Amino acid sequence: MPHVATADPLPLPTWPPTSPAIVDSIRQAAESGDWGKYAAQASLSLADRLASRFAVEHVRLCASGTAAVELALRAVQVRPDSEVILAGYDYPGNIRAIEAVGAKPVIVDTEPGRWVIDADLVEQAIGESTTAILASHLYGDLFDAKRLRELADQRGIALVEDACQVHGASLTGKPAGSWGHVGVLSFGASKLMTSGCGGALLSSNDRIAQRATLAAGRPSGIAPLSGLQAAALLPQLATLDDWNAQRRTAVARLKQLLVGSRIWQFAEAMPYESETTYFKAAWFLPVGVSRDSVIAAGLAAGIPLGTGFNGFLRRARRRYRTVGDLSQSETCNDRSVVMDHRVLLADLDVIDTIAERLLAIERDLESKADA
């Protein structure tokens, strides 16, 4: 395993954030008794503010992003005889949501050097049974939502846009999450805004919103977000832009300090106008470099590195249809290394130290390879 000579603890921020505003918001909801209502004022306020922030007409709060994905699929009328296209590297819960509604996943590859679905292959994969495309923005890498929305409209199918990781990102000035016929957010424990668990469905289509309401009503809503969770999210929505700016600055600093690195390879640049944000900072390791060794060395250096998603490529292929060889998705699955976004909220001198330790890991790997 590579060795880092100096591994003093790094002063990393905690997550969820220790914010007086969040504590005050939850306390106010608790003391008012409003939290005990089916439709708490905090929930109504959060839905209204999310609609404004994401430029959509309808918001439905959910217990998780995964629940919101499944509800979105039902709302765009995905049925047991339907096919839904998604990337070969994605959050595993998305393929399970497709299976949960009885539909068949159709798997296409990711773009070379990126973590997002390849729009060219999506067009090739559309068939008579295709009802929807489920596409995700991952690790600050934004898929070509404009093109996929145009393609979906042309072919009479739905685009479900998974924006769970990119609260506050935009493409050509339009918020990520608002490009799809329906968009999905997650407020899970690690997300850029968190209530421990939680999510939201976004849409500007009246019929989709009505079908989502009918699908979720039994007659009270299934898998709702609580008033206390909504109260925790309201202050975070107010500070989201500031936090995202800090995350972008940190990633820009890392890219500057790691330029020329052989190990720490960022995704290819997005070929369209965008302003992203980062749930994870992520890299592709080159062939021949042990990911386990790199992650172990990072952890020893006090840097919270991980593998990212455990993909679903090795599941029985009889359960879905594939288009292409999925070689890029294999690269994402086997060679991705990610770093938690809380690191990106650290002071820039800490970011500088992290870059130094990442380069030290690389030097140690190279010295061992030359020995």
Catalytic residues: 191
> Quick one: which of 282, 328, 287 has its CA closest to 107?
328
How many residues in total does the chain contain?
Answer: 371
**Which residues on neighbouring strands pair with residue 135, listed in sequence order?**
161
Taken in order 332, 325, 116, 208, the sign of the CA dihedral is: negative
Cβ-contact 16, 239 below 8 angstroms: no
With a CB cutoff of 8 Å and minimum separation 6, the contacts of 16 are 22, 189, 194, 196
Reduced to 3 states, what is the DSSP secondary structure of residue 265? strand
- Give the C-alpha distances (Å, rounded to integers) separating 198 from 53, 189, 193, 334: 17, 9, 10, 29
With a CB cutoff of 8 Å and minimum separation 6, the contacts of 18 are none
> Quick one: which of 182, 210, 223 has its CA closest to 63?
223
- Give the C-alpha distances (Å, rounded to integers) separating 348 from 63, 248, 275: 35, 12, 21
- Strand order, beta sheet including 174-175: 174-175, 170-171, 274-275
Cβ-contact 336, 313 below 8 angstroms: no
Structure tokens at 47: 């839905």
- Strand order, beta sheet including 199-203: 58-62, 199-203, 182-186, 158-162, 130-136, 83-87, 104-108, 321-322
Cβ-contact 225, 195 below 8 angstroms: yes
With a CB cutoff of 8 Å and minimum separation 6, the contacts of 314 are none
